[in-house]
Amino acid sequence: MGNLLARIGALSTAAKVLLAFAALLLLVLCIVASPLMVVLAFLALVVAIFALIIRILRRRPLRTWGIIAGSSLVLVLAFSGISGALYGGGQEQAGSTGQDEQAAVAPKPKPTEEKKAKPAPKPEEDEDEGRYDATATVTRVVDGDTVEIEPAVDGVEDVRLIGVDTPETVDPSEDVEPYGPESSNYATSVLEGEKVELEFDEERTDQYGRLLAYVYLAGDEMFNGELVEGGYAQVYTVDPNARYEERFRAFQEEARDANLGIWGLSEDDQCELADRGNGIGDGTPGCEERREPAPRPAPEPEPQPEPEPVPQPEPKPEPSSPDASASASPDPAPAPAPSSGDLDCSDFDTQEEAQAVYDQDTSDPNGLDGPQGESYTGDPGVACEDLPPGGSEASPTSSASPTSSASPSASSPAPSGGGGAPSGGGDIDCDEVDGPIPTPPGDPDGLDGDGDGLACE
């Protein structure tokens, strides 16, 4: 740099003047072409930066390229300022000058043209007021799809959102449904205290007297669609209010695919929601199958106690008469076959068994009613009186065999002198006997004239 200045100083005066003039001319040209100079200086800056990076990687000196990069940056900034000062303000001034000239040249409109001119557009607020049916402030959120507004519209403060249904939270006749509190809290956080616009459909009120409306927030955001899109509500269309049904169903499919809100609940929780024709809720086929109770096994019958046998009263012997003694009594219980003279009372367990043997042969070859040739023992015709009785207390005379009929008087001793049994000694006749009696063994007195086993008939 010092050598360059020394050479310039060594030049003649004329040469110095020419050199200064050339430098000024070059400067003017650069100023005039400042946009081009900005581009050239920027390219030089880029090249210098790449050169610096390469020299840094190769560990070479950076001084020369550093000076070039710094100078290029200064030139870019300088010529950018010059270009903006020369051409930026000039374009604005030229534009304003052109507009002034056009305004001066344009002819004044005729009075008839003023009448045909279009009216100026209304402000945006006027357009919104014409688009919506009413404007109000939400004073209270009842649940996810019902709010209260102020001022009232047509005297009604309650507004039911059209086309959507959130899980129930305030119905006193129903339990709080799954995801109901979340939907109500979301509606409260977004709507309560906010100014909203209401758009009505074909029917303006429902059977409960509530207004039916699409609710819009600032910025034309319909809150009905936001509920469906976020999974806080399901689509619920009640004709004829179906203006935005297709839009709501598209939102619902997106929420279902993303498992948002009610679409992310378990199947059991979804079955507790209302059935609005969207594949969930109480009454859908999947929920009906879950509600069918499993068949209970039939209870085993409890063992019934066996009825106690009713004791049968023992038949009482009826009073016997001579005519009754002639009739056959019921068949006696089977007894041992009779034998001649080889049995005694020790061979029987009960008096009934001995009596059955005796009744088969009243001649008493076994001596069951006393030894042969001796007087009777006890009651005549009663065998083995010392044995215990059998299953019945009836006297042997009530069970006489067909071959021998007992007399009812056999149960009591016949009078004989001092009231004892006939001795069978051949000195007794029927005048001394009260009624028919069993014929004594051998009939020594000849009392049984007809040989039927009964004496003194």
| CATH number, residue 229 | 2.40.50.90
Question: Do 57 and 188 sit in the same domain of this protein?
Answer: no
Q: What is the pLDDT of residue 407?
A: 40
Task: Give the C-alpha separation, 404 to 326, whole Å.
Answer: 9
Question: Do 260 and 369 sit in the same domain of this protein?
Answer: no
Question: Do 284 and 330 sit in the same domain of this protein?
Answer: no
- Rounded to an integer, the average pLDDT of 276-301 is 75
Residues forming beta bridges with residue 135, ordered by sequence position: 197
Residue 313 lies in a domain: no
243 catalytic, yes or no? no
Residue 215 lies in a domain: yes
Does the pLDDT of residue 364 top 60, yes or no? yes
- Dihedral sign, CA of 400, 402, 404, 409? positive
Listed residues 271, 291, 311: the one ending a domain: 291
Residue 101 lies in a domain: no
Residue 312 lies in a domain: no
- Rounded to an integer, the average pLDDT of 399-421 is 40
Q: What is the pLDDT of residue 124?
A: 44
Question: Do 153 and 80 sit in the same domain of this protein?
Answer: no
% residues pLDDT > 90 (the chain): 31
Q: What is the pLDDT of residue 451?
A: 74
Does the pLDDT of residue 414 top 60, yes or no? no
Q: What is the pLDDT of residue 8?
A: 73
For the chain, what is the domain count?
3
Give the pair of three-digit tokens for residue 22. Answer: 């050339």
Does the pLDDT of residue 325 top 70, yes or no? no
Question: Do 145 and 277 sit in the same domain of this protein?
Answer: yes
Q: What is the pLDDT of residue 443?
A: 76
- Rounded to an integer, the average pLDDT of 199-209 is 95
Range of the structural domain that residue 154 is part of = 131-291
Does the pLDDT of residue 343 top 50, yes or no? yes
Does the pLDDT of residue 320 top 60, yes or no? no
Q: Which residue has the higher pLDDT, 266 or 286?
A: 266
Q: Choose among 412, 421, 411: nearest CA to 377.
A: 421
Question: Do 173 and 249 sit in the same domain of this protein?
Answer: yes
Is 182 strand, coil or helix?
Answer: helix
Q: Which residue has the higher pLDDT, 420 or 425?
A: 425
State how far the alpha carbon of 206 is from the alpha carbons of 28, 160, 215, 417, in Å: 82, 8, 16, 124
Q: What is the pLDDT of residue 181?
A: 96
Is 80 strand, coil or helix?
Answer: helix
The one catalytic residue in 160, 229, 352, 353 is 160
Residue 4 lies in a domain: no
Other CB atoms within 10 Å distance of the CB of residue 192: 14
Q: What is the pLDDT of residues 63-102, one digit of tens each?
A: 788 888 888 888 888 878 887 887 765 555 555 555 555 5
- Of the pLDDT bands very low, low, confident and very high (cuts 50, 70, 90), residue 392 is very low
210 catalytic, yes or no? yes
Task: Give the C-alpha separation, 106 to 117, whole Å.
Answer: 16
Report the mean per-residue pLDDT for the chain. Answer: 76
Q: Where are the alpha helices (DSSP H) in 341-380?
A: 351-360
Task: Give the C-alpha separation, 141 to 181, whole Å.
Answer: 12
Residue 66 lies in a domain: yes
Q: What is the pLDDT of residue 38?
A: 82
Q: Which residue has the higher pLDDT, 302 or 269?
A: 269
- Of the pLDDT bands very low, low, confident and very high (cuts 50, 70, 90), residue 337 is low
- Rounded to an integer, the average pLDDT of 240-247 is 96
- Of the pLDDT bands very low, low, confident and very high (cuts 50, 70, 90), residue 54 is confident
DSSP state of 399: G
The one catalytic residue in 148, 168, 177, 352 is 168
Q: What is the pLDDT of residues 131-179, one digit of tens each?
A: 789 999 999 999 999 999 999 999 999 999 999 999 999 988 889 999 9
- Of the pLDDT bands very low, low, confident and very high (cuts 50, 70, 90), residue 427 is low
Q: What is the pLDDT of residue 315?
A: 61
Does the pLDDT of residue 120 top 60, yes or no? no
- Rounded to an integer, the average pLDDT of 304-313 is 66
Question: Do 286 and 339 sit in the same domain of this protein?
Answer: no
Task: Give the C-alpha separation, 457 to 444, whole Å.
Answer: 16
Question: Do 333 and 269 sit in the same domain of this protein?
Answer: no
Question: Do 275 and 142 sit in the same domain of this protein?
Answer: yes
Task: Give the C-alpha separation, 225 to 454, whole Å.
Answer: 123
Question: Do 328 and 268 sit in the same domain of this protein?
Answer: no
Looking at the chain, the number of H-run helices and the number of E-run strands are 14, 10
Question: Do 395 and 440 sit in the same domain of this protein?
Answer: yes
Q: Where are the alpha helices (DSSP H) in 265-344?
A: 267-270, 285-291, 322-326
Does the pLDDT of residue 186 top 70, yes or no? yes
Between helix 34-58 and helix 13-32 the angle, nearest 10°, is 100
Q: What is the pLDDT of residue 419?
A: 41
197 catalytic, yes or no? no
Residue 104 lies in a domain: no
Question: Do 166 and 42 sit in the same domain of this protein?
Answer: no
Is 278 strand, coil or helix?
Answer: coil
Q: In sequence order, what are the residues at sequence separation of 6 or more whose Cβ sits closer than 8 angstroms to the Cβ of residue 52?
A: 62, 65, 66, 69
The one catalytic residue in 182, 197, 210, 229 is 210
| Lowest mean pLDDT across 278-282, 348-352, 413-417 | 413-417
- Global pTM reads 0.40
Residue 7 lies in a domain: no
- How do 156-161 and 211-217 pair as beta strands? parallel
State how far the alpha carbon of 97 is from the alpha carbons of 88, 92, 105, in Å: 14, 8, 12
Q: Which residue has the higher pLDDT, 57 or 102?
A: 57
